[in-house]
Amino acid sequence: PITPSSTMGEWVDEWASQHKKNIWGKEVKVAEMQSEAGAAGAVHGSLAAGALTSTYTASQGLLLMIPVMHKAAGEMLPHVIHVSARALAAQSLAIFGDHTDVMACRNTGYAMLAANSVQEEMDLALVAHLATYKAKVPFLQFFDGFRTSHEIQKIEVLDYDDLAKLVDYEAVAEFRKRGLNPNNPIVKGTAQNPDIFFQAREAVNPYYGDNILDAVDEYMAEISKLTGRTYLPFNYYGAEDAEEVVIAMGSVCEALEEVVDYLNAQGKKVGLLKVRLYRPFSAKHFMAVMPESVKRICVLDRTKEPGALGEPLYEDVRNLYYDMEKRPMIIGGRYGLGSKDVTPAQLIAVYENLAAAEPKRDFTIGINDDVTFKSLPVGAPVVTNESSTISCKFWGYGSDGTVGANKDAIKIIGDNTDMYAQGYFSYDSKKSGGVTISHLRFGKDKIRSTYLIDQADYIACHKPSYIEQYEVLEGLKPNGTF
């Protein structure tokens, strides 16, 4: 697999080498191919034989899989590809996170399911694996590269025994029965001429309606029952009578929840609509949770589609409201490309822009666009997270042990106290020899801060020369410790 999805493959490989069993009581066969294109081909072949198969990828690696994805979806081979969503190389290489890669797969025929946090990734990965066999459609299950894939969080783990009860064994048996078998020959992989190709292509339509939606609904309800965490194809958070609502998917939704609480505590009426099931995009489920009071909507996309009238999620939402008589004003903006940090102050600026007499459309946050002037003005940093949370920031030198020590520290706090704990490590692609900044949070309340620490209770500097080179004290709270 390709960075930042490598860790998933590495863990599965390690577990397989330790002879760990899956919920079927079987050891998992792990195959590492010469490229992502080869991995996709191996997945296709394994599925065609009736074996339950999965893979992991991101970025250019995912793009190398696209030709096979069209085939696997067209042949209705249920499986899950897990993607730690990452930027695609454009004017330069970027190994960091955004949604450019997954957005390039919208027409492959895969259902697309997004998770916003480390805990949600566990829960929704399960939904994808359970639903794919019932729906007979493959799933691309994604989450933010680095911000979620490399964040250390304390989570609740589900037991194999509980999972085994949720599997639709008949659907799995039916999939296995369709596997290639010399004793039961079938014809597949033919070429079709214009006389029938179009008709056959349209024959999949029923499967992209209630088939997927019913399967996802059912398993989201089951996982919600098991965990107490409510999952729907779209989840709404905020004031029931909100007039201004932001729509987004991925890790930014966690920070947006903090901002919604912060603004509503000041007497505002704002909300957030979180997109879980992005494909198929269900108008019915969307409208079921969107407050009827909404007058203005802002859609945030973590990708850029040069030359388009708007980014993909924005276009979907606009299309959904297109022929409605009473439709809200809808604007769109971009954020977080190449893992650009998204702070509460920037998200507050999004809500302020949405409430303005003449809101800025097609805007950006997180950068200062002094070329095309699309950036929103951003106010001073604010603290929106829970007051019990302690925030610590460590400046280190790549390979000096700071990152490793902090990973140990956050795991010790998580494993040996009843506190929530979060660790995130910021460094560039040079890694060894470069600047590293470790961001640790812990406290009694759930941690939803999916952004770098800019208001710290504690700052440490492990390389004295940094004091002359960088603003190491920036963001230290009053009475904080350096």
For the chain, percent of residues with pLDDT exceeding 90: 94
Express each pLDDT in 444-462 by its tens digit. 999 999 999 999 999 999 9
Q: If you average pLDDT over residues 381-407, what whole number do you get?
A: 93
User: Picking from 111-115, 119-123, 371-375, 382-386, which range would have the lowest pLDDT averaged per residue?
Assistant: 382-386
CA atoms within 13 A on the CB side of 255: 25
pLDDT of residue 189: 82
Integer Cα distance of 472 and 417 in angstroms: 30
**Radius of gyration of the chain measured on its C-alpha atoms:** 23
Express each pLDDT in 199-250 by its tens digit. 999 999 999 988 999 999 999 999 999 999 999 999 999 999 999 999 999 9
pLDDT of residue 134: 95
428 pLDDT higher than 80:
no
3-state secondary structure the chain: CCCCCHHHHHHHHHHHHCCCECCCCCECCCCCCCCHHHHHHHHHHHHHCCCCCEEEECHHHHHHHHHHHHHHHHCCCCCEEEEEECCCCCCCCCCCCCCHHHHCCCCCCCEEEECCCHHHHHHHHHHHHHHHHHHCCCEEEEEECCCCCCCEECCCCCCHHHHHCCCCHHHHHHHHHCCCCCCCCCCCCCCCCCCCHHHHHHCCHHHHCHHHHHHHHHHHHHHHHHHCCCCCCEEEEECCCCCEEEEECCCHHHHHHHHHHHHHHCCCCEEEEEECEEECCCHHHHHHHCCCCCCEEEEEECCCCCCCCCCHHHHHHHHHHCCCCCCCEEEEEECCHHHCCCCHHHHHHHHHHHHCCCCCCCEECCCCCCCCCCECCCCCCCCCCCCCCEEEEEEEECCCCHHHHHHHHHHHHHHHCCCEEEEEEEECCCCCCCEEEEEEEEECCCCCCCCCCCCEEEEEECCCCHHHHCCCCCCEEEEEEC
Express each pLDDT in 458-477 by its tens digit. 999 999 999 999 999 999 99
433 pLDDT higher than 90:
no
Express each pLDDT in 107-120 by its tens digit. 999 999 999 999 99
pLDDT-derived band at 387, boundaries 50, 70, 90: confident
- CA 284-287-292 angle, 5° bins: 155
pLDDT of residue 188: 85
124 pLDDT higher than 90:
yes
1 pLDDT higher than 80:
no
pTM for the structure as a whole: 0.96
Report the mean per-residue pLDDT for the chain.
95
35 pLDDT higher than 90:
yes
pLDDT of residue 59: 96
pLDDT of residue 427: 84
pLDDT of residue 248: 98
Burial 410-422 (b: 16+ CB within 10 A, else e): beebbeeeebbbb
430 pLDDT higher than 80:
no
pLDDT-derived band at 349, boundaries 50, 70, 90: very high
